[in-house]
Amino acid sequence: MRDRDLTLIIDLIDGRLPPEEEKAALAVIAADPELRSAYRVQAAIAGELSATPSPSMTPSEREVLHAELKAQLHLDESPVVVPSPHSRWNRWLAPLAGLAVGAAVIVGAVVVLPGTLSGDADEAIVAAPATTTTSAASTQMADTTVAAFEAAPEAPVEAGEDEQSDVVAGGTYNEASGIPFVADVDLSELADSYGAGSHLFDESAGKRSDGEFPVSDALVGACVDRVSSEATSSTVVPLLTTVYEGVPSMIVAVSPPAGDDYLVVYSLEACEEIATTRP
């Protein structure tokens, strides 16, 4: 299952889609046995859990719970990451030699089919509108056999909207959006890697940095915000920052409502598109 399918199902169940998009999403899901099965599983479990009595907690108790969760997840610890030869990050680098860390990002956010580079910058990048409603959707989907479930590494589907910076060994990264810096990226090769279908993002990879990036996190964050705000219907996933043909840049994956996914390179200084694999 592609990550955008995952997003579609999660957003549908979470009640995040406007009525028109919800209707379209249901049609897409209904037409695909795998998606039907996945949706049914997700909706059933979400429904079951939401119907399960949860503890009555006071706000202070809730804060304690959240603090405990953070502590368990070591979220308050320094995000300093020291490169390790045994990390999965490095493992990904091996088969893609020249692509270096870009291979790590390949992972799963979206599957971007390789295309040709073009300088066209007219096509607006848009992101699906989001609401904050949480609700368990009904399970009124066609009955299908529940597929075997396979555990797989998790994959971020979108970047977070809130940006915050942390210093990591060798450079910086934008933690909230999980954008690593990759010193040298060949866009076509990166697109090919996506098209080849690697998939699943290793969260730790997003917290790795490779070398010094000459642009502040604030600038990266501003460009992420701008690209996201200009988006209206496509899903935009910031993948990495890099120096692309001498220009400090950010590469994002775009999943349009129709057609193939593609990559776009934005110069960070002006936050303007300078290259793309858009077909």
Partner 1 sequence: MNAVELRPDIESALSGLSEDFRAAVVLVDLEGMSLEDAADTLDVPIGTVKSRVFRARKLLAKELGNLAPGSGHLREEP
**Chain residues that interact with partner 1, rule: CB under 8 A:** 3, 6-7, 9-11, 14, 16, 38, 40-42, 44-57, 61, 64-66, 69-70, 72-73, 75, 109, 130, 132-134, 136, 143-146, 148-152, 154-162, 176-178, 201, 203, 237
CB of 173 to partner 1, least distance (A): 12
| Rounded Cα distance, 192 and 196, in Å | 6
CB of 110 to partner 1, least distance (A): 10
For residues 157 and 203, the answer to whether their CB atoms sit within 8 Å is: no
Burial class (CB in 10 A: 0-12, 13-18, 19+), 55: exposed
In terms of CB distance, is 115 or 173 closer to partner 1? 173
In terms of CB distance, is 60 or 122 closer to partner 1? 60
- Whole-angstrom CA distances from 248 to 12, 210, 218, 220, 257 are 36, 14, 13, 10, 29
CB of 99 to partner 1, least distance (A): 22
In terms of CB distance, is 31 or 65 closer to partner 1? 65
CB of 98 to partner 1, least distance (A): 27
Strand pairing partners for 167?
172
- Whole-angstrom CA distances from 66 to 75, 133, 200, 231 are 11, 20, 27, 32
CB of 242 to partner 1, least distance (A): 19
In terms of CB distance, is 61 or 212 closer to partner 1? 61
Going by C-alpha positions, the residue among 257, 21, 252 that lies closest to residue 272 is 252
In terms of CB distance, is 147 or 247 closer to partner 1? 147
Determine phi and psi for 168, rounding to 5 degrees: -125, 165
